[in-house]
Structure 1
Amino acid sequence: MEMYLNQPVSLTVSGTRVPVKGTLIDLGTDVLVLHNGIQFLYVPLVHIQQLTKCPASESNFAPPPDPALDLAMELSYRKVLLNAKGMFSELYIAGNQTVHGYVTSIMNDFFVFYSPMYRSLYVSMRHLKMLVPYDAHTTPYALEQGKFPVHPTTASLARTFDQQLKKFEGEFVILDLGEHPEKIGLLKAVRHNILELVTADGASTFIHLDHVKTIHRP
């Protein structure tokens, strides 16, 4: 992919419905940086299904400014998250699902994202499709900073996503932003990477941890 650095490219990203297009700015071992003429997009390589050069008719992108994140050393997914802490950002998790807020904590295989809508959202690193940082002076929904202070979670954090979910046993939780009713309910148990969730009708649903993108408590 190095041959396409500083050239317009088109990405097919898993979970998205349309190609992502822009100038390929940087390439790391597990993430790349794209500028679409307006914003910088940080895309984990694991979710790139295809990368091709844009046709000349679709490659008229504005020249990129300095990157939103200061990545002085070698580019990596974890370094992107570390540099994004405290910066208003947009997350693409699946399809058209996006979340706006701030990265507040980064653990081994998940991070905590604080947003006006979901408050503390626990995001599996393996399921983040794109991270888009905003201008330093931008706030969510144009709220004044005093009306939307960042409150990092006061809950104790585990090192791994499965251990974090285990801490929520016996609590009412919402998985994957509540995209399906079967992913909302009482987290009864987490055993051998399988979650048992009791849904509204009182029945148990079993979900493998690998398919859990996010979790939060309303």
Structure 2
Amino acid sequence: MKGLNQFLNTDVEVVISGDTRFVGTLIDIGQDIFVIFDGCNYLYIPLLHLHQMNKAKIMTSTEKPFLINPEDPMIEAETQAFSYRNTLNKVKGQFIEVYVTGGRSIHGYVTNVLNDYIVFFSPVFKILFISMHHLKWFTPYSTEQTPYTLDNSQLPVVPSKVPLVRNFEEQIKKNIGELVIFDMGEVPEKVGLLKDVSNNIIELINASGEPVIWKLNHLKTMHLP
């Protein structure tokens, strides 16, 4: 079966989790990730979130294929074993945009790649723990760009000094007894005092003092206020 390879170097329409849609040129396919170029950005998308891919339909005679610069360093970078984890490790310390949940993406850089989550520094949210199962796509900035046009002095690329463990659930456990924010606070009930973490179940105490239970599998990010 040809699978995705039949679309290499052609313009495609892609649908991923959350009914997010992209149109661009499929330029590479890895073990568990693929890359499309949408005319402006290289979008790295884990295969886990791919719902549909088909050849892009040219709607008018004025539409042209996306033009890719073969000397672009982002293309040259994929000469080694190309996988989701390897790519995240390659972009550590490089400013990127990632999309996880809700109607907004997050800008910053990866500081650590663990077994099933990454540590991400954002100038807005500071240190975020992001489940690798829920990261929908990411795109690197050009080397000249920084988030919000901040100076590099305001965005020091240094590894997180927070003590880390390899597993997302175990990392969350380290914050029992503290106020935590899941999924960037998009739902008020995802903000509260972390009471317990056990067998993939999270217990929070909300602002009213009531317990709220969440299934860890469905939580995408965590950070501290």
Establish whether TM, by shorter chain, passes 0.5.
yes
Q: 1: distance between equivalents of 2:147 and 2:54?
A: 33
Q: What residue in structure 2 maps to residue 117 of structure 1?
A: 124
Residue 136 (structure 1) shift: 1.2
Aligned to 1:195, what secondary structure does the other structure show? strand
Aligned to 2:164, what secondary structure does the other structure show? coil
Q: What residue in structure 2 maps to residue 98 of structure 1?
A: 105
CA contact (8 A) 2:115 2:166 kept: yes
**Can you list the C-alpha shifts for 1:123-176, whole angstroms capped at 9, x where unaligned?**
000000001101012111001111222343221101100110011111111000
Deviates more, 1:208-217 or 1:141-150: 141-150
- Output the amino acid matched with 1:2: N
Q: TM-score, normalised by structure 2?
A: 0.92
Q: Find 1:60's aligned residue among 61, 64, 69.
A: 64
Q: 2: distance between equivalents of 1:40 and 1:67?
A: 11
Alignment length (residue pairs): 217
Q: What residue in structure 1 maps to residue 50 of structure 2?
A: 48
Match status 1:202 vs 2:204? no
- Output the amino acid matched with 1:176: D
Aligned to 1:94, what secondary structure does the other structure show? coil
Q: 1: distance between equivalents of 2:154 and 2:46?
A: 33
Q: What residue in structure 2 maps to residue 157 of structure 1?
A: 164
Alignment of 1:1-218 (within 5 A): 1-17=4-20, 19-57=21-59, 60-65=64-69, 66-68=72-74, 70-218=77-225
- Output the amino acid matched with 1:28: G
CA contact (8 A) 1:31 1:42 kept: yes
CA contact (8 A) 2:24 2:66 kept: no
Q: 2: distance between equivalents of 1:150 and 1:213?
A: 23
Q: 1: distance between equivalents of 2:159 and 2:204?
A: 26
Give RMSD over aligned pairs. 1.4
Residue 45 (structure 1) shift: 0.5
Residue 56 (structure 1) shift: 1.7
Aligned to 1:162, what secondary structure does the other structure show? helix
Q: 1: distance between equivalents of 2:206 and 2:74?
A: 41
